[in-house]
Amino acid sequence: MKRRQSANTVAPVSLAARRLERYIAPMIVLGIETSCDETAAALVADDRTILSNVVLSQLDEHQPYGGVVPEIAARAHLDYLDGIIRQALDEANIELAALDGIAATGGPGLIGGVMVGVMTAKAIAAVQDVPFLAVNHLEGHALTARLTDDVDFPYLLLLVSGGHCQLLAVEDVGSYERLGGTIDDAIGEAFDKTAKLLGLGYPGGPAVEAAAATADDPKRFKLPRPLSGRPGCDFSFSGLKTAVRHAAAKLPDEVLSPGDAADLAGAFQAAVGDVLVDRCANALDAFAQSHAGAVPPLVVAGGVAANLHLRACLTALCEHRHTRLVAPPPALCTDNAAMIAWAGLEHLRRGATAGLDFAPRPRWPLDETRTANA
């Protein structure tokens, strides 16, 4: 179990006292994240203090299958969520009565897990008589940079994870314009499939990055850069993944040597970095055209944003374009509940809450117009 705890704590107070202090003390929201294979809970204040952030990984349960098994994930959330919430409250030294709202991932994600988190959050909100906030998991990633770096709107977002690869103009909370997305595999999916092909293990992203770091010659294999040099902001990774398979098949040995696997991993990672730079450069141009020439910060979020090589590639692009790259700490790039609590706070401050009749959503596009009760 991974734990993050701020040195700041808040003593328990009554709900009435918290409401009286709302204008002189920060609001605090409990966040719950159960969209995939992490069971997580966090307490975050609207002064950008993470009071607690507890994440229980289900990696051991899913590793034998080489991927997440939805039924196993949902059962694990049922078994562990109550204890994780209690731990988050204890680490923050806060009782439920002191909270100003309860936020939970309402989608997109594996529907069984999303239902566990949403129903738990609704129950707590009803008993404590505080607002329930249904958070789009992708918006949690999108707004994390405002929690960690206090980024102002608007900005350009590169959202890269196991299931998503998008470039969006972030205009405000709940206001997103998609500039491009993947036309086949998501970037994290491409990492996972490449890792499996190379025999590097699961999860694929960290495995490929670790292998690439040991490569003797990452330029040994010539891999394509799909869509690079073309107009637009869309991505394609299926052809790159296929090229890795063909390169491996041409090697004389039936079983890849560690050196061959490392060089192929390095070549794959370098190709991905080049693709991201090319597509993000086009997105910066598109943003400038629609925002009177403004050059926005480039925010990278999602689990793949933890990859240090990809961060370095994007940093170089931003330096060339005279802007800055904002990348949250790796622990806040992967799935966590602090980002859900923060997104909930962003909506709560705008008076946008969800009703207890909210239905969990296995699909929830980030650029879809959101109403207060969506």
pLDDT of residue 36: 87
DSSP SS3 for 161: coil
- Are the C-beta atoms of residues 173 and 235 closer than 8 Å to each other? no
Residue of 289 and 71 predicted with greater confidence: 289
Q: For 97-145, write each residue's pLDDT tens digit.
A: 999 999 999 999 999 999 999 999 999 999 999 999 999 999 999 999 9
Looking at the predicted structure, is the pLDDT value of residue 319 above 80? yes
Burial of 1 (0-12, 13-18, 19+ CB in 10 A): exposed
Parallel, antiparallel, or unpaired for β 165-172 and 101-107? unpaired
Which pLDDT does position 255 carry in this prediction?
A: 80
| DSSP letter assigned to residue 13 | -
Residues 350-364 pLDDT 10s = 999 999 999 999 999
Q: Is it the case that residue 371 has pLDDT exceeding 80? A: no
Contact predicate 207/195, CB 8 Å:
yes
Q: Looking at the predicted structure, is the pLDDT value of residue 323 above 80?
A: yes
d(CA 93, CA 308): 34
**Residues 135, 55: Cα–Cα separation, whole Å:** 18
Distance between start and end Cα atoms, the chain: 33
Please name the helix (run of DSSP H) or strand (run of DSSP E) that holds residue 279, with its range, or none. helix 258-290
pLDDT at residue 373, rounded to an integer:
29
Q: What region does 12 belong to: left with phi over 0, alpha with psi -120 to 50, or beta? A: beta
Question: Which run of H or of E encompasses 115?
Answer: helix 111-128
pLDDT at 7: 33
The pLDDT score that the predictor gives to residue 235 is 97
Residues β-bridged to residue 135: 105
**Average predicted confidence (pLDDT) for the chain:** 90
344 contacts: CB under 8 Å, gap ≥ 6? 29, 31, 101, 102, 103, 133, 135
Classify the C-alpha dihedral 213-215-218-224 as positive or negative. negative
Domains of the chain: 2-148+333-348 (3.30.420.40), 155-327 (3.30.420.40)
Q: Label residues 266-304 b or e (16+ Cβ within 10 Å = b).
A: bbbbbbbbebbbbbbbbbbebbeeeeeeebbbbbbbbbb
Strands (E) across the chain are located at 2-4, 28-33, 38-45, 50-57, 101-107, 132-136, 155-160, 165-172, 175-181, 298-301, 325-326
- Residue 57 pLDDT: 84
The single residue listed with the structure tokens 């793949």 is 304
> Pick the residue with more confidence: 47 or 73?
47
pLDDT band at 331 (very low <50, low <70, confident <90, very high): very high
**Is the pLDDT at 150 greater than 50, yes or no?**
yes
Total residues found in the chain within this entry: 374
Helices (H), 41-107: 59-62, 70-92
pLDDT tens profile 223-256: 999 999 999 999 999 999 999 999 999 998 878 9
% of the chain beyond a pLDDT of 90: 82
| Span 61-82, average pLDDT | 83
Q: Which distant-in-sequence residues (6+ apart) come within 8 Å of 66 by Cβ?
A: 196, 202
At residue 203, the pLDDT reads 86
Tokens 């709900």 locate to 15
pLDDT computed for residue 167 by the predictor: 97
Confidence of residue 62 (pLDDT cuts 50, 70, 90): low
Mean pLDDT of 282-293: 96
